[in-house]
């Protein structure tokens, strides 16, 4: 692919992740009591629940902010990838081991089946990974000297 096409694809990738994290982060904060109740329904340590109820949406919003600021985009992409891997593992764990399956997600994503949610998370994990690769390529191309 051409450099310009890669840059456009990188922008699209970043904005998809920004939309996801802004949407889910704000949804969780706006329905924080429900989010915390759902977390309590899982087998997560009871003492971690209040921390996660605030921490997860705040981290999602911070990652969205990192992705919007070009200077911090690299760390934003890596953070988005790690978050998506963790969320995907969580959904996989719930599918495999939980009898009761409370959804602690935000907004419309909350209405998805657990299997659909797993596929959704895998797709966004791949989007984040693609963004990391495109970002790395962009800066390798920009930093490669013309003459050795």
Decide if 88 is inside a domain.
yes
- pLDDT tens track for 20-52: 999 999 999 999 888 888 888 777 778 888 899
Decide if 148 is inside a domain.
no
Decide if 126 is inside a domain.
yes
Decide if 119 is inside a domain.
yes
Instruction: Please report the pLDDT score of residue 2 as a whole number.
Output: 72
From first to last of its 148 residues, what are the pLDDT tens digits of the chain? 578 899 999 999 999 999 999 999 999 999 988 888 888 877 777 888 889 999 999 999 999 999 999 999 999 999 999 999 999 998 998 888 876 666 666 667 777 888 999 999 999 999 999 999 999 877 655 554 544 4
- DSSP state, 98? -
pTM attached to this predicted model = 0.86
Decide if 22 is inside a domain.
yes
Instruction: Please report the pLDDT score of residue 102 as a whole number.
Output: 65
Q: Is 133 left (phi over 0), alpha (psi -120 to 50) or beta?
A: alpha
Question: How far is 97 from 93, CA to CA, in rounded Å?
Answer: 6
Decide if 147 is inside a domain.
no
Decide if 47 is inside a domain.
yes
CA angle 102, 108, 113 (to 5 degrees): 50
The domain tally of the chain equals 1
Domain that residue 108 falls in: 3-142
């Amino acid at each position: 692919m051409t450099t310009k096409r890669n840059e456009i694809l990188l922008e699209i990738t970043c904005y998809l992740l920004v939309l996801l994290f802004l949407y889910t982060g704000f949804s969780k904060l706006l329905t924080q009591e429900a989010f915390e109740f759902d977390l309590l329904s899982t087998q997560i340590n009871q003492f971690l629940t209040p921390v996660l109820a605030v921490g997860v949406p705040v981290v999602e919003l911070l990652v969205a902010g990192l992705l919007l600021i070009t200077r911090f985009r690299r760390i934003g992409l890596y953070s988005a990838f790690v978050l998506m891997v963790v969320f995907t593992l969580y959904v996989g764990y719930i599918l495999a081991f939980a009898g009761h399956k409370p959804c602690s997600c935000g907004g419309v994503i909350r209405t998805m089946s657990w299997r659909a949610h797993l596929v959704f998370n895998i797709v966004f994990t791949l989007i984040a990974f693609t963004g990391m690769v495109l970002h790395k390529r962009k800066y390798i191309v920009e930093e490669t000297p013309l003459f050795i």
